Structure 1
Amino acid sequence: MNEKFPSSESSENIYQRGKFERERAPEYVEQIATDFSEHYSDSGYLEREAVPISSKTDPTVRFIGSHISVFKPELLGGTIPAQGEYMVQDCLRTKNVRGLFDDSYVAGWGSSFISLGALVPKDRLNEATERQLKFFTERLKVNVDDLRMRVSSADKDLLDSCLDYLPEKSLEIDTREARYYQHVIGIEGVRGRNYNMALRNPNGEGFSDVGNIILLENDDGVLGIETAIGSSVVLKQLYNLEHVNDCYPLVGFEAVNPQFRRKLEDSIIVSMRLLKEGLLPRGSDNRERILRSYLRSILYFALKTNISLDSIHSVMENYEATQFPNDQLNTSEQIITALTEYEADLRAGKVNGKEDEVIAAELKINFMQIPKKIKKGDHIRVIAPSRSMGLLSDDVKKAAMEKLESYGFKLSFGKHVDETDEFLSSSVSSRVEDLHEAFADKTVDGILTVIGGYNSNQMLDYIDYELLKNNPKVFCGFSDITAIGNAITTKSNFITYSGPHFSSWAIKKGFDYSIEYFEKCCMSDESFVLHPSKQWSDDPWYLDQERRDFIDSEGYWIIQEGLAEGKTIGSHARCLAALQGTQYWPNLDNSILFIEEDAETNIQLFDRLLQSYIQLPDFKGVQGILIGRFQKDSNVTKEILTKVIQSKTELSNLPIVANVNFGHALPLATLPIGGRISIDTKSNNPITVVQH
């Protein structure tokens, strides 16, 4: 053994570095990078220029997580400079993103760090070992007794290289599992074998890894030798820092619960670095989605620790001024703006995943539940909350049952569906009993209403909304069912559906469109574009199924241009209006109103109804309006409807689309009550059902 680094006794204060001055943190980081650069430059290595973290230098990674991503072309091409090359590279590894919203996850490492790296040809292992050792002992003045090489006896070449320069007492041989000595490179066909260098912990007890030497090889042999040193972990050891993030200190979070503090710091540091590289909070690629997770977690930790966004803003501004003194881009302001907009989106009901749900829970936002979608083979219960099934002819009942069963549904009927009184309905208690049993029955997957009528609102005060809330199911019907559907959504907090009744399924011709959108809305989770039907009808189909009158559709009527998105509230205008002033009236904040009327309503009555909505205190929350196709007997044209709409200044800034396929003209699409719809009148597809 050639002991080129003689040992000496360590002092009690083993590194004798003094106190780490937080306000000078960038100087410490810069100094260790300078020491590394000078050390390798003085040894004849060529300097390799750093690249942005979000660079696509290596298209196989989202962010530069190691200098090897920059060195890859030379490594794979066999063109590593004979004298070797080195670089100081900002890196980002997003391992912590998986635990940001898991309160049990501890962020032991910082996501953002500076990697000190070098690469030499495959025949210079001993030189790589010597260069790395001398960096610590000569440049950083670390006593050799405070160093350890952790190596596997199976890697004889690495072990021999260590023994050439250090006494055996400075080696930890086979003290770890085999995989510890195997380095995952992230380059197809390339693997790594490594020994790790560790520094004694500042308290003198034990050692912690700070870097390594990696033999990079493929099936043909060794390709090159990589040196890697983490500047943050070295500084943590030398200055007895509590955490690697203390190399980039955000002064002001010292009193924050440590469970959240380090992840909060990490999220701020990462967010700032990515914003400074031009990534956008609302961008669409995978890197910007990761940025959004880090940004959202800042709001999450603020809520968990009761820190105001104003306080976080102040800490970020101080940090930004210290870490990026010459940068004109104010990312602190960008972050606060993004978080404020994000919170507003959440409060508007824009929920797109688990992260949103977790943060919304902290904000105490009560999100709308989405019932489990039904599928072929499921059990459908038919009930009559309005008029009785006794009103239907045997032919209609038979045709509806056959069609639903042909789609694989298993049908059952409420006990009281055939009860009929002088109002062609049944008692309130009978109807409520059937409703409760349908929701309470665990074998029932979805519920269809028989038909509309005039009196479903009689039930509203007698419904057990807590029972329904605890057993959300697809509940579908239209017309008079609008009252009960909106009441359930408002009180039980789950989406209901304005769509075909049980009786509607008896339609033999022109019903394919209705089936298509029932499937999209009630049998799938995917968002979908609502296209206009090619034809429509307004004839009494139940009188003669063979002789039908179909009319070519002229498509949507764009009454007013605009762009909007919001929660959906609808659909039969008079039934919905009957809820005004009651506890069942839905909140119109950030809503898309979708309304329709039947043949009993002319343009004057529709005008009056619309005005009653406009005069509601919360109508200002309506973001856009969809109007269902009018029946022929209403005599409503595009021109007269446009005149009515444009006479109301309160509607002047709203996108309004009419002649949409929902309501009493056929075919009818299924739309969610309490879901989300977007309107973009400039698009080829103006209406998209986003959440249902």
Structure 2
Amino acid sequence: MTPPRPSHGDHVAVLSPAAALPAKLPAPFDLGLQRMRDELGLVPVEYPTTRQWGASPADRAADINAAFADPTISAILTSIGGNDQIKVLPHLDADLIRANPKPFYGLSDNTNLCVFLDGLGIVSYYGGTVMTVLGRYGSTSPHSMEALRAALFEGGWYDLRPADGWTDMGKDWAEPKHLEEEPELFPGTGWQWHGANQQVEGRLWGGCFEIIDWQIRTARWLRPDEDYDGRVLFLETSEEMPSDAYVYEVLMCLGERGLLQRFSALLMGRAKAWEIGRQTTPNERTAYVEAQHAAVLRAMSEYSPDVPVVLDVDFGHTDPQLVMPYGGRCRIDPGAGTIAVEY
């Protein structure tokens, strides 16, 4: 089911179910909250662990449960991702959440919560985190904000489009002066189409590549394998910049399990190839992205050669950051070169 949408003026919960980075980097978070008020017309409501660094999984889960239970809260947005949210899931009240469905927006480690909600039959939204979209240095991205507004307020079918300009390079959030500097964007590259040419429609499932690997390994929150028949797989790698060998091996294992073959298409997000702590040269970045593409296409050609594969779609850890409806429907038309999602 798709939860009811918020309206302008509504109160929305702002949580840190993964890492409470607002405690250490308040400037971009506070900027994001202000833009939530000014550009979206929503009233942010923080919870006890939103700025509590090192909060326990149980305490973070208590905030999630409380946000879903609160009738004055119309949606839930996350501050940013993290790296241990899988520990939060056992503390969630599935019956409470199922009885009080609300739109949930998260990225990266928040894939864990999207998987959990998908298991309850609730559509959530991959994207729209406060610090990355609303707290973006310079100004907000028109491309990202158009998709976020459509997902938040409008619903219906939305045509994704390739970015006219993009970047995977950020600035040090610990230096507030950077918040006033506009990002330098690279020219758009369009999407890369591979595989079969048939039109596809299916419900989206996936998210952050490394977190999906965690979910497959633990296998506590997944649906039965047959429930993924015909769904559209969407994946993107994080700022950890995993190797092409790792990407191939994870897809290989999904293929050997027989799960990869159940999906009707694959959308692969643009690979992040630069990070503050790993500042690659232009040549290194190009080589990294090409190796990532090759790893994905190798695995798909071996295990699922008869489905469409689209590379460099702008969702995930790069900018702009489109919103993907997790569990929502997706239409892919390779002949027309179009991708549409249902918010």
- Using structure 2 for the length normalisation, give the TM-score: 0.87
| Secondary structure of residue in 2 paired with 1:578 | helix
- The CA distance in 2 between the partners of 1:607 and 1:510, in whole Å, is 34
Q: Counterpart of 2:156 in structure 1: which amino acid?
A: E
Change (3 A) 1:381 1:614: same
Question: Does residue 292 of structure 2 align to residue 659 of structure 1?
Answer: no
Equivalent residue for 1:607, pick from 248, 252, 258: 248
Question: Does residue 47 of structure 2 align to residue 414 of structure 1?
Answer: yes
- The CA distance in 1 between the partners of 2:193 and 2:162, in whole Å, is 12
Equivalent residue for 1:620, pick from 243, 261, 268: 261
Larger Rg: 1
Contact 1:383 1:413 in 2 (8 A): yes
| Secondary structure of residue in 1 paired with 2:117 | helix
Match of 1:498 in 2: 126
- The CA distance in 2 between the partners of 1:609 and 1:433, in whole Å, is 33
| Secondary structure of residue in 1 paired with 2:71 | coil
1:477-519: per-residue Cα shift (whole Å, max 9, x none)?
10000011111221x2110110121212111335221111112
Matches within 5 A, 1:105-504: 369-406=1-38, 407-421=40-54, 426-490=55-119, 492-504=120-132
Match of 1:532 in 2: 162
Question: Does residue 145 of structure 2 align to residue 512 of structure 1?
Answer: no
- The CA distance in 1 between the partners of 2:254 and 2:5, in whole Å, is 32
Question: Does residue 185 of structure 2 align to residue 550 of structure 1?
Answer: yes
| Secondary structure of residue in 2 paired with 1:523 | helix
- The CA distance in 2 between the partners of 1:390 and 1:548, in whole Å, is 21
Q: Counterpart of 1:558 in structure 2: which amino acid?
A: W
- CA drift at 1:535: 0.5
- The CA distance in 1 between the partners of 2:117 and 2:295, in whole Å, is 35
- The CA distance in 2 between the partners of 1:640 and 1:447, in whole Å, is 33
- The CA distance in 2 between the partners of 1:479 and 1:637, in whole Å, is 19
| Secondary structure of residue in 1 paired with 2:257 | coil
Match of 1:225 in 2: none
- CA drift at 1:531: 0.5
Match of 1:271 in 2: none
1:442-481: per-residue Cα shift (whole Å, max 9, x none)?
0000001111110111011111111111111010010000
- The CA distance in 1 between the partners of 2:46 and 2:52, in whole Å, is 12
- The CA distance in 2 between the partners of 1:524 and 1:612, in whole Å, is 39
Change (3 A) 1:683 1:439: same
Change (3 A) 1:448 1:510: closer
- CA drift at 1:632: 2.1
- The CA distance in 1 between the partners of 2:194 and 2:290, in whole Å, is 8
- The CA distance in 2 between the partners of 1:457 and 1:644, in whole Å, is 25
- The CA distance in 1 between the partners of 2:21 and 2:169, in whole Å, is 21
- The CA distance in 1 between the partners of 2:168 and 2:151, in whole Å, is 23
Match of 2:220 in 1: 583
- The CA distance in 1 between the partners of 2:200 and 2:288, in whole Å, is 25
Change (3 A) 1:409 1:637: same
Match of 2:277 in 1: none
- The CA distance in 2 between the partners of 1:644 and 1:625, in whole Å, is 10
Contact 1:499 1:669 in 2 (8 A): yes
- CA drift at 1:547: 5.0
- The CA distance in 2 between the partners of 1:506 and 1:620, in whole Å, is 38
Change (3 A) 1:620 1:595: same
Q: Which structure ranks higher in relative contact order (CA pairs < 8 Å, sequence separation ≥ 6)?
A: 2
Structure 1 residue runs of 4 or more that deviate by more than 6 Å after TM superposition: none
Q: Counterpart of 1:430 in structure 2: which amino acid?
A: D
Contact 1:577 1:613 in 2 (8 A): no
- The CA distance in 2 between the partners of 1:622 and 1:669, in whole Å, is 21
- The CA distance in 2 between the partners of 1:458 and 1:395, in whole Å, is 28
Contact 1:592 1:626 in 2 (8 A): yes
Q: Counterpart of 2:44 in structure 1: which amino acid?
A: L
- CA drift at 1:615: 2.5
Match of 1:680 in 2: 333
Contact 1:376 1:408 in 2 (8 A): yes
- Using structure 1 for the length normalisation, give the TM-score: 0.44
- The CA distance in 1 between the partners of 2:42 and 2:140, in whole Å, is 21
Equivalent residue for 1:636, pick from 267, 279, 288: 288
Q: Over aligned residue pairs, what C-alpha RMSD do you find?
A: 1.9
- CA drift at 1:431: 0.3
Contact 2:233 2:265 in 1 (8 A): yes
Q: Counterpart of 1:622 in structure 2: which amino acid?
A: F
Contact 2:232 2:265 in 1 (8 A): yes
- The CA distance in 1 between the partners of 2:147 and 2:257, in whole Å, is 31
Match of 2:206 in 1: 570
| Secondary structure of residue in 1 paired with 2:221 | coil
Q: Counterpart of 2:234 in structure 1: which amino acid?
A: F
Q: Counterpart of 2:183 in structure 1: which amino acid?
A: R
- The CA distance in 1 between the partners of 2:16 and 2:144, in whole Å, is 21
Contact 1:559 1:642 in 2 (8 A): no
Q: Percent identity?
A: 22
Q: Counterpart of 1:377 in structure 2: which amino acid?
A: G
- The CA distance in 1 between the partners of 2:238 and 2:208, in whole Å, is 8
Q: Counterpart of 1:394 in structure 2: which amino acid?
A: P
Q: Counterpart of 1:480 in structure 2: which amino acid?
A: D
- CA drift at 1:657: 0.2
- The CA distance in 2 between the partners of 1:402 and 1:510, in whole Å, is 12
1:378-424: per-residue Cα shift (whole Å, max 9, x none)?
11101111001444423212211110000210111112222223xxx
| Secondary structure of residue in 2 paired with 1:497 | strand
> May I ask how many residue pairs the two structures share in their alignment?
317
Match of 2:278 in 1: none
